[in-house]
Structure 1
Amino acid sequence: MSKLQVGIYIGVIFITLIVVFIFLGVIPGLRQTSFSTTIVMWGIFPEDDFKSALGAWQEENASISIVYVQKNPASYTTELLQAIAAGHVPDIMVLPDTLFHANQSNLSQMPSLFMTPREYSETFTGAATSIFMQSDAIYGIPFALDPMVLYWNRDFFASDAIATPPVTWDEFLLDAQKLTKRTPDGNLIRAGAAMGLASNIPQSTDIVSLLILQGGTSIIDPATRTVTIGESRLINQIQSSPTETALLFYADFARREKTSYSWNHTFSPPEDAFSREDLAMFIGRASAYRSLAQRSAHISIGVSPVPQYKNASVKINYANAFAFTVPLQSQQQHTAWRVATFFAKPDIVPLITNRIVLAPARRDVLGAGHSFPPSSVFYEEALRSRTWYDPDPARSSSILKNMIESVAAGREASLAAAEARTRLESLLK
């Protein structure tokens, strides 16, 4: 064997030993630098709600750690802009659909190698995909939905011989009349339903949005980003406005001269009134269940699907969606998208949604149902949910609340809807 061959063999052995020593950590610090990374995730839910999912990731991916930082959704956009300016953006953001418009320009698009637009639409519900996929560009991996549901006091229903919760809005109206209790001079002492006003019903805009969507139109169309509130449609060969119908139906519950009168300014917000047994039923978000159950342990709470219009050919709900998004300025976009898709896997996403008591956004998981009765309703309603494109939650909420209150005060519904339309259009300019 020549000296050259001996030298080559010794060199190969030496390099091999160096690689092995680095891998085993014998040479301090080198393995950690070469093989580990950290993904920073911002979220609006408590870290404990993600603990199981984070643990599942760590078991399969020990070299990639995730640091979860809880943030206030009210300051989310501001904090992201500050982080961009400082050069310290998170790698993943848990984003509600209502904050998508404000943040879209700062979000990266998911590479198609993770999921194609067709796979995306077939995997997740329409309420989630209609916001986070724009023109086949995917900006977020949905994982949770917060649909509207009906909360009702079982004992009050039984006391008034009402066997089941209302399925249609006609039944809802009749049940509200039966459940409303008054003094001899007509003053309300127990509300049958929390409807009619915006000032003391935080979910008033959601309820009216639900009614409008069920009527066949939207507020702002997610696909075209055009304002559609107030538009008319042909129903049984009669031209009518779902917005005006929704406003009049809703407002009548706060009008003393109407037989549907069951709510006024003296009541506390629905969750408070329900807990105090001053309210028999109300429409609220699935996300209200956890706190409502804790505050109302003395009440037998019923959770049911929201009512629908009589003879409706399609059942419709209204939900907010939450997704994992990746900021454009992240230096670890590929790894971040890998983490996001992992958390949305069918065996992983329930670890999150069961903790936050919301419905998963995956169709296959929703189709499997849930053994916990309230969650089974959330799953059912999530499958039939739709949403609308909200460019500015704070300002749009103010616009819609003003529309509701003005109709409750006696203004023509058509005029109130027209004004709201004009003001919403200004948000998109």
Structure 2
Amino acid sequence: MVLSLTGLEAPRGGKTRRWVSLAVLGLFFVTLGFGCKGLSQQERAAVKPVTLNYWTVFNDTEELKRLASEYRQLRPYVKVNIRQVRYEEFDRLFLNALADDVAPDVVSLHARWIKKYQNRLAEMPASVSTARLIVKGGLTKETQVVVDTTPMPGIGDIKRDYVGAVANDVIIGEAVYGLPIALDTLAIYYNKDLLDKANIAEPPATWDEFLEAVKKTTKFGPDGKIVQSGAALGTANNIDNAFDILSVLMMQNGVKMAAKGSVQFASGLDKAGETHPSLQALRFYTDFARPTKESYSWNETMEPALDAFVRGKAVFYFGFAYDSSRITSRAPELNLEVIPLPQLNPSAPVNVANYWVEAVVKKSKHQNEAWDFIRFMTAPDQAKRYALSTGRPSAYRTQIKELADNPRLGPFVSQTLIAENWYHGEDITQAEKAFDDLITATLRPYADKDDPTKRDAGFIATAAQMAQQTF
């Protein structure tokens, strides 16, 4: 039996299926001690059983199991164990696992977590070496162990093949720290029946139209309390996506959020005052929670935004593609539609990128297999299958046009080219808290001695300082 070294991937098509099935059979015999006579020590080492422990948070676990199963057909000696970890528990569990030397091999990290965990992650290699078993011959069978040296996507490949947000997030210096299987963007869900009842035939396409729709669909009771919200906007305590919504409003208004490690959304506040684009965006957002404003449709005493929307108590909900299954599972009869986010300046559109990156832990003893599995699961054909199955957009440029025609995916996919992350610090939780505190402070009533512009500008400056501390 011969150990063959080749720079080719496993053959594709019908021949692959035949070779894989024989390889599985051959591995079965090798494992039991039959048919392994003559295998060299190098050959045995190449197909030694490997278990990859993979932690994920929000990825679709059924799709991940399919990917793990298909990968095992290609590499029968590799088993992938998938564990879903709660978002709020990931940091504690991961750090404890690292300390106890029982860390996973592969982790799914939010793109905004990469800098935080950078020192714990392996840099993606230029290539990986993994083995296959093939059986050749007629009456006399010969088993070969074939070692594939497979190139990984390089920096140039990532910049060419993926939408721009990916390269900006996963490449630090000259190193790549992971690859995505999907990339999400912010859109607006709406209750079509409630729009119809308000005699609004078409969903809003601009922010002005959106404001009119909110005013027409917000209803108040005899006591002045909101009984139907036009839009769940304006607060922080009961809106999960407040950080992203306020960020994108600022960016659409021309704000440079950060550059070269410096938080900049408060720059020039002292000179611009009332006309500063960050202050304008902040007030546009918080006006939805101010009873004195025409756009008033929400406040801090109301239930969580998603809960109100699925119960038919809110007409518009700002969310991501992953929210779709959460909404339909809780409200299957809801006449649900989605529209892309309106743009303040159509000639310079912008959205936010919200997605997860598959990365390898530096302590993993199975670097080749871990990176090869990531290469396999994030390949274009797998990303497309994942998108169609889960409703989460692909990050590949070549798939945008096709997936944009999909009713479920279209509103989100159509925005992937203009989506970006401004935050590249080490503690997104603190940055989100800074925005939450900014929104909450801005909603407080003005004291008689307050200069509203100076007060709110001060809150923006404080939020920028808090965010800067994490860079």
**Equivalent residue of 1:383, what SS?**
helix
Question: How far, CA to CA, are the matches of 1:128 and 1:212 in structure 2?
Answer: 21
Q: Does 1:103 align with 2:117?
A: yes
Per the TM alignment, residue 229 of structure 1 is displaced from its structure 2 partner at its CA by 2.0
Question: How far, CA to CA, are the matches of 1:425 and 1:22 in structure 2?
Answer: 57
Q: Is the 8 A contact 1:91 1:336 kept in 2?
A: yes
The answer for the alignment partner of 1:58 in structure 2 is: 72
Question: How far, CA to CA, are the matches of 2:44 and 2:411 in structure 1?
Answer: 47
Matching residue's letter, 1:26: F
How much is the aligned-residue C-alpha RMSD, in angstroms? Answer: 2.6
**Equivalent residue of 1:121, what SS?**
helix
Q: Structure 1: which 5+ runs fail to align?
A: 1-20
The answer for the alignment partner of 2:247 in structure 1 is: 209
Q: Structure 2: which 5+ runs fail to align?
A: 1-28, 128-151, 446-451
Structure 1's 79 and 266: CA in aligned 2 closer, same or farther, altered over 3 A? closer
**Equivalent residue of 2:182, what SS?**
strand
Matching residue's letter, 2:198: D
Question: How far, CA to CA, are the matches of 1:145 and 1:128 in structure 2?
Answer: 9
More off after superposition, 26-35 vs 83-92: 26-35
Q: Which of 58, 61, 72 lines up with 2:86 in the alignment?
A: 72
The answer for the alignment partner of 1:84 in structure 2 is: 98
Q: Does 1:327 align with 2:361?
A: yes
Structure 1's 247 and 23: CA in aligned 2 closer, same or farther, altered over 3 A? closer
Q: Which of 199, 211, 218 lines up with 2:237 in the alignment?
A: 199
Q: Which of 205, 215, 218 lines up with 1:177 in the alignment?
A: 215
Question: How far, CA to CA, are the matches of 1:313 and 1:102 in structure 2?
Answer: 34
**Equivalent residue of 1:369, what SS?**
helix
Question: How far, CA to CA, are the matches of 2:101 and 2:440 in structure 1?
Answer: 44
- In the superposition, the TM-score normalised over structure 2's length comes to 0.79
Q: Does 1:305 align with 2:343?
A: no
**Equivalent residue of 1:144, what SS?**
coil
Q: Which of 298, 307, 317 lines up with 1:282 in the alignment?
A: 317
Q: Which of 398, 409, 424 lines up with 2:467 in the alignment?
A: 424
Question: How far, CA to CA, are the matches of 2:174 and 2:208 in structure 1?
Answer: 40
Per the TM alignment, residue 166 of structure 1 is displaced from its structure 2 partner at its CA by 1.5
Question: How far, CA to CA, are the matches of 2:31 and 2:468 in structure 1?
Answer: 59
Question: How far, CA to CA, are the matches of 1:209 and 1:374 in structure 2?
Answer: 25
**Equivalent residue of 2:186, what SS?**
strand
Question: How far, CA to CA, are the matches of 2:390 and 2:110 in structure 1?
Answer: 14
Question: How far, CA to CA, are the matches of 1:108 and 1:241 in structure 2?
Answer: 42
Per the TM alignment, residue 192 of structure 1 is displaced from its structure 2 partner at its CA by 0.8
For residues 338-392 of structure 1, what are the alpha-carbon distances to aligned partners after superposition, in whole Å with 9 as ceiling and x for unaligned?
A: 1111111111123334444321222222332156412222211223211122431
More off after superposition, 198-207 vs 45-54: 45-54
Question: How far, CA to CA, are the matches of 1:336 and 1:302 in structure 2?
Answer: 39
**Equivalent residue of 1:94, what SS?**
strand
Question: How far, CA to CA, are the matches of 1:71 and 1:377 in structure 2?
Answer: 29
Q: Which of 274, 286, 295 lines up with 1:260 in the alignment?
A: 295
Matching residue's letter, 2:194: F
Q: Is the 8 A contact 1:205 1:397 kept in 2?
A: yes
Question: How far, CA to CA, are the matches of 1:239 and 1:250 in structure 2?
Answer: 15
Per the TM alignment, residue 101 of structure 1 is displaced from its structure 2 partner at its CA by 2.1
Matching residue's letter, 1:244: L
Q: Is the 8 A contact 1:399 1:420 kept in 2?
A: yes
Q: Superposed, which structure 2 residues align to 1:22-33 within 5 Å?
A: 25-26=33-34
Per the TM alignment, residue 79 of structure 1 is displaced from its structure 2 partner at its CA by 2.6
Per the TM alignment, residue 131 of structure 1 is displaced from its structure 2 partner at its CA by 1.4
Structure 1's 132 and 34: CA in aligned 2 closer, same or farther, altered over 3 A? closer
The answer for the alignment partner of 1:316 in structure 2 is: 350
Matching residue's letter, 1:91: D
Q: Is the 8 A contact 2:252 2:349 kept in 1?
A: yes
The answer for the alignment partner of 2:457 in structure 1 is: 414
The answer for the alignment partner of 1:272 in structure 2 is: 307
**Equivalent residue of 2:381, what SS?**
coil
Matching residue's letter, 1:422: Q
The answer for the alignment partner of 1:11 in structure 2 is: none
Per the TM alignment, residue 290 of structure 1 is displaced from its structure 2 partner at its CA by 0.6
The answer for the alignment partner of 1:338 in structure 2 is: 372
Higher relative contact order (CA 8 A, sep 6+): 1
The answer for the alignment partner of 2:147 in structure 1 is: none
Structure 1's 157 and 23: CA in aligned 2 closer, same or farther, altered over 3 A? closer
Per the TM alignment, residue 204 of structure 1 is displaced from its structure 2 partner at its CA by 1.5
Question: How far, CA to CA, are the matches of 1:33 and 1:116 in structure 2?
Answer: 28
Aligned identity (percent) is 28
Matching residue's letter, 1:382: T
- In the superposition, the TM-score normalised over structure 1's length comes to 0.86
Q: Is the 8 A contact 1:317 1:385 kept in 2?
A: yes
Question: How far, CA to CA, are the matches of 1:239 and 1:249 in structure 2?
Answer: 12
Q: Is the 8 A contact 1:77 1:103 kept in 2?
A: no
Q: Superposed, which structure 2 residues align to 1:130-145 within 5 Å?
A: 130-145=168-183
Matching residue's letter, 1:207: I
Question: How far, CA to CA, are the matches of 1:372 and 1:176 in structure 2?
Answer: 27
For residues 195-249 of structure 1, what are the alpha-carbon distances to aligned partners after superposition, in whole Å with 9 as ceiling and x for unaligned?
A: 111122222222101111222334444xx2221222359xxx9995332111010
The answer for the alignment partner of 1:152 in structure 2 is: 190
More off after superposition, 371-380 vs 343-352: 371-380
Structure 1's 322 and 422: CA in aligned 2 closer, same or farther, altered over 3 A? same
Per the TM alignment, residue 417 of structure 1 is displaced from its structure 2 partner at its CA by 0.7
Question: How far, CA to CA, are the matches of 2:390 and 2:267 in structure 1?
Answer: 36
- Equivalent residues, number: 402
Question: How far, CA to CA, are the matches of 1:188 and 1:340 in structure 2?
Answer: 48
